[in-house]
Structure 1
Amino acid sequence: MQYFSYLDESALDRIHEASLEILEDVGLLVRNKKARDRFAEHGAAVDETNERVRIPADVVMRYLALVPPTITLRGRDPKFDVTFPRKLPVVATASSAPDIVDPVTGLTRRATSQDIARLGHVVNELDGFDVFSISVLADDAPEGHFNLSRFYPALKNCLKPVRTSVVSVDEARQILKLGELIAGSPEAFWERPFINFGYCSIVTPLTMDFDSTENLMFFAENGVTAYGTVAPIGGINTPLSLPGMMVMVNAEWLATMCLAQMSRERTELIYNFLPVFADLRDGAYAPGAIEVGMMNSIVCQMARRYNVPAGGYLGLTNSKVSDAQAGYEKGMSPLLGALSGVDFIVMGGLLDALMSLDFGQLAIDNEIAKMVKVVRAGVEFSEEALAIDDIKRIGPAGIFADAPMTLENMTTATFMPELADRKLRETWEEQGASTIHQRALNKSMAILTRQPNPAALTPEADARIKAHFPGIVAGDSSLPDGWVPAETGPTAPVRARRQSRRRNAPG
């Protein structure tokens, strides 16, 4: 497939050269002493007084040659393992929002471990998503269980690859122990490690902090599946131009890559990024900007130049509700990414600049993900597909509705959405005049009513976990009290507006 691209080869060469120049002449501020020592041992120039590390171009290129061309994210069930690049992009939910839109009240509140259990259950059944990137935090986490209270309910209720970040190496060890308990033994887990991590080792501009850099080295040293993300904000900590931001992103990714390969050669990585832009009218954080998709297109070009998988946080939105703004912001950048050859898209479920998750939006984004994959699958071209014989046989003023090809391909030739409405207006009104968000909430609720969850852990595995981690959260998926199918009658929108006004009234 020929991918869309903005830049020609000479421009990509110049970005590469400029990135090497930045790393060699300016370098990075590296807060972690172990990392500085590792850089020094492998050919970088280190100024201990200023904690500055400068990486010569030949060192960068030596380690770039060691990065594997693919990465594998594993799930509890190996049938859900994903290795990419592949023909279709791998799509994940977006992660780590502090809040959730309560499906019963419609109001935002702090997310809990039980919300994560429900989300894992739902994502397991939404076939547009390949990976459950744990979507929210757990406000009810007991002391010492901050990310354990996220990974446990996620892994307990989802067979697909699960990933998120951790605060420290101690937390990482805790989560890996959880994996060993689920697998039944350390040997069984490490034969096929099904826990995946992310990290942000770079603080733009050009700074490696202590803890996340420690995590990067720990993951690489121990062969743990993990990948870094570069997250610049255009106009705040990078130049306010796409080429200038790309030079910064590329230099920072190359520095991360070097440290990972210095820690363990052949460490799998993704050229993954979350480049957002500041709306400088008021400084707003704008992950829904179309320039995010444009930057992803250039990142895809650089990743192919380096022969590594390309990933990006796409399909994010600044909208606070599931509305038209959410629709176009969540649709445009993933589509541009797919056309540009992105291998890994992090997109599902979040609203309000990554601050909240909505169960209805999650189901809508699943449908967007499936449409993006249809686009990326491309057009099958063959003599049979040309249908010349049918065209000649049916001829002028004919109809193709009963042609053998039509009957054979009627449910496969085009994408059949489940949530998007295509009925006549009269039929839609007679059936309740529902919104797509109402239908999407009903889909998520229908999944949660299928009990027991077929993806749930065995009682034996759960007993091992509870014995090892006293006081761990319950981690069970259940339908929230009071969540009933969204109203779809003709008066439902009016009632919903009245109820919203009552909920938000002072006092």
Structure 2
Amino acid sequence: TGAPFLRDLDDVRRNPTLDDLAMFHKLCHMLPALHSSAHHIVEPYDHPISQRHLRITYSSMKYCDKTFMGMTTSPKNADDVMEMCAILFGAEFMEDHPVTTGNCNGNSPLVWDETMLGAMRAFCRRNQPVLCSPFVLGGANTPASVPATVAQLNAEALSALAYTQVIRRGCPAIYGHYLSTVSMKSGAPMAGTPEISLMNFMIGQMARHYGVPWRSSNTLGGAKTFDAQAGYESATTLSAVIHAGANYIWHSAGWNEAGMHCSTAKFVVDAEQCAMAYRMAEGPKWHDFDEAVAAVSDIGPGGHYLGHPHTQDNFQEAFFMPELFDNNSIEQWVAEGEVEITERALNHARKLLAEYQEPRLDPATDEALRDYIARREREIPAADELNQHC
């Protein structure tokens, strides 16, 4: 989320638009492994920044029927999100149901600023969950030590969790963080390092100690393209957060170049990796154990199970079969055009978009949302007007 660039359906790195944001929301709608559409997956540069949160929220609501995140870029922007949620879901419904989440980042070390706290208050007043997320750049805004970094992060996250209960006792909140370590060669944030995995394991234990759900980040990559580096970094972090028992896993698709761009190809492959991780987290399936063991006696020494009734009944669910990874022989791969993963992924994304059907909003609700956006855009000066006033 929040990428200032994207790599598009032609794998070209460029500035995003509202249409590009809608494309990612549509892809999220079509990918079962993604449970939430976030909010500004990419920054839509073709709309004034002062009004952008309205269009981002509308895109989240219009193009995907999954839960989404609300903008917390200012207290007033958060209020706008809450008002739009009240239009869509009903203010009374929101009192008893989480319909969106808000991410509030602490300014490490040891600062929660008024912008984030104001947005936090807007969400808590409506009983909507917030992620209390210190922003860790290990070695830069935390000590150059894994245990000391976790100690600082823990204090920052707990202070925010406590503050949510001051705002409204009993309102939902999530122990959060964003984790990266900093290269001492360049100062650039790094992804997929062993220290990030260790921090996730430690934070998971702390969250369970306090009895609170916790948020982590997922398939982060520092590579400039969807290459082997991106895959290794993403797989390392994905494995760590699943084994650490994270409850709310953000940044799960497309993140690359340390968050500077969202890759369309990586987006759909990451989603499939999330599906595989989810399957692993479910653990072994025991419902058919007796039938499966009985097949051993049926087949006997030296046989094969391909035609056995148990295999025929269960092969589609017994083992995960990736759609985007090629497991055929090299001869078949060559015969089919030697298509590598990036091209396969982009072709798959095009197919998903061609098959997309919009989960249409109720016409009266849609009109009310559009009217609210139009009114607020009249009230909020566009960026160029703000610059003239400054």
Higher helix share: 2
What is the correspondence of 1:70-85 to structure 2 with a 5 Å cutoff? none
The letter of the residue matching 1:465 is L
In the superposition, relative to structure 1, how do residues 204 and 385 fare at CA in structure 2: closer, same or farther (>3 Å)? farther
The letter of the residue matching 1:391 is V
Q: Could you tell me which residue of structure 1 aligns to residue 199 of structure 2? A: 295
- Aligned-partner Cα distance in 2 for 1:387–1:464: 56
In the superposition, relative to structure 1, how do residues 180 and 261 fare at CA in structure 2: closer, same or farther (>3 Å)? closer
The letter of the residue matching 2:195 is E
Q: Could you tell me which residue of structure 2 aligns to residue 253 of structure 1? A: 157
The letter of the residue matching 2:210 is Y
3-state SS in 1 of match to 2:317: coil
Q: Does 1:398 align with 2:300?
A: no
Q: Could you tell me which residue of structure 2 aligns to residue 445 of structure 1? A: 350
151-160 or 382-391, larger mean C-alpha shift: 382-391
In the superposition, relative to structure 1, how do residues 382 and 161 fare at CA in structure 2: closer, same or farther (>3 Å)? closer
RMSD of aligned residue pairs (Cα, Å) = 2.1
3-state SS in 2 of match to 1:230: strand
Q: TM-score normalized by structure 1? A: 0.70
- Aligned-partner Cα distance in 1 for 2:121–2:277: 35
**Contact 1:157–1:457 (CA<8 Å) still a contact in 2?**
no
**Contact 1:198–1:229 (CA<8 Å) still a contact in 2?**
yes
**Contact 1:217–1:259 (CA<8 Å) still a contact in 2?**
no
1:209-261 Cα offsets, whole Å, 9 max, x none, are 12112222332233123222111111111111111111111111111111111
**Contact 2:190–2:222 (CA<8 Å) still a contact in 1?**
yes
1:281-327 Cα offsets, whole Å, 9 max, x none, are 22111133232222111111111111111220122010111111111
In the superposition, relative to structure 1, how do residues 408 and 169 fare at CA in structure 2: closer, same or farther (>3 Å)? same
Q: Could you tell me which residue of structure 2 aligns to residue 312 of structure 1? A: 216
Q: Does 1:457 align with 2:340?
A: no
**Contact 1:198–1:228 (CA<8 Å) still a contact in 2?**
yes
Q: Could you tell me which residue of structure 1 aligns to residue 181 of structure 2? A: 277
Q: Does 1:432 align with 2:313?
A: no
Q: Could you tell me which residue of structure 1 aligns to residue 272 of structure 2? A: 367
What is the correspondence of 1:412-427 to structure 2 with a 5 Å cutoff? 412-427=317-332
Q: Could you tell me which residue of structure 2 aligns to residue 483 of structure 1? A: none
In the superposition, relative to structure 1, how do residues 141 and 288 fare at CA in structure 2: closer, same or farther (>3 Å)? farther
Q: Does 1:237 align with 2:116?
A: no
- Aligned-partner Cα distance in 2 for 1:143–1:228: 24
Q: Could you tell me which residue of structure 2 aligns to residue 500 of structure 1? A: none
**Aligned structure 1 segments of 4 or more residues deviating by more than 6 angstroms:** none
3-state SS in 1 of match to 2:259: coil
In the superposition, relative to structure 1, how do residues 99 and 291 fare at CA in structure 2: closer, same or farther (>3 Å)? same
Q: Does 1:214 align with 2:118?
A: yes
What is the correspondence of 1:11-410 to structure 2 with a 5 Å cutoff? 95-104=1-10, 106-134=11-39, 135-142=41-48, 144-183=50-89, 186-187=91-92, 192=97, 194-200=99-105, 202-346=106-250, 347-381=252-286, 384-385=289-290, 387-410=292-315
Which sections of structure 1, spanning at least 5 residues, go unmatched? 1-94, 474-507
**Contact 2:98–2:127 (CA<8 Å) still a contact in 1?**
no
**Contact 1:271–1:309 (CA<8 Å) still a contact in 2?**
yes
In the superposition, relative to structure 1, how do residues 385 and 353 fare at CA in structure 2: closer, same or farther (>3 Å)? farther
The letter of the residue matching 2:254 is G
Larger Rg over CA atoms:
1
**Contact 2:102–2:120 (CA<8 Å) still a contact in 1?**
no
- Aligned-partner Cα distance in 2 for 1:143–1:97: 14
1:448-468 Cα offsets, whole Å, 9 max, x none, are 2235x3323344333222233
The letter of the residue matching 2:165 is Q
In the superposition, relative to structure 1, how do residues 142 and 236 fare at CA in structure 2: closer, same or farther (>3 Å)? closer
The letter of the residue matching 1:206 is L
Q: Could you tell me which residue of structure 1 aligns to residue 388 of structure 2? A: none
**Contact 1:231–1:274 (CA<8 Å) still a contact in 2?**
yes
- Aligned-partner Cα distance in 1 for 2:129–2:38: 14
The letter of the residue matching 1:173 is D
- Aligned-partner Cα distance in 1 for 2:233–2:352: 26
386-395 or 417-426, larger mean C-alpha shift: 386-395
The letter of the residue matching 2:325 is A
**Contact 2:161–2:174 (CA<8 Å) still a contact in 1?**
no
The letter of the residue matching 1:327 is G
- Aligned-partner Cα distance in 2 for 1:228–1:470: 31
3-state SS in 2 of match to 1:270: strand
Q: CA deviation at 1:434?
A: 0.7
The letter of the residue matching 1:246 is V
1:19-59 Cα offsets, whole Å, 9 max, x none, are xxxxxxxxxxxxxxxxxxxxxxxxxxxxxxxxxxxxxxxxx
- Aligned-partner Cα distance in 2 for 1:312–1:236: 20
3-state SS in 2 of match to 1:149: helix
- Aligned-partner Cα distance in 1 for 2:184–2:47: 37
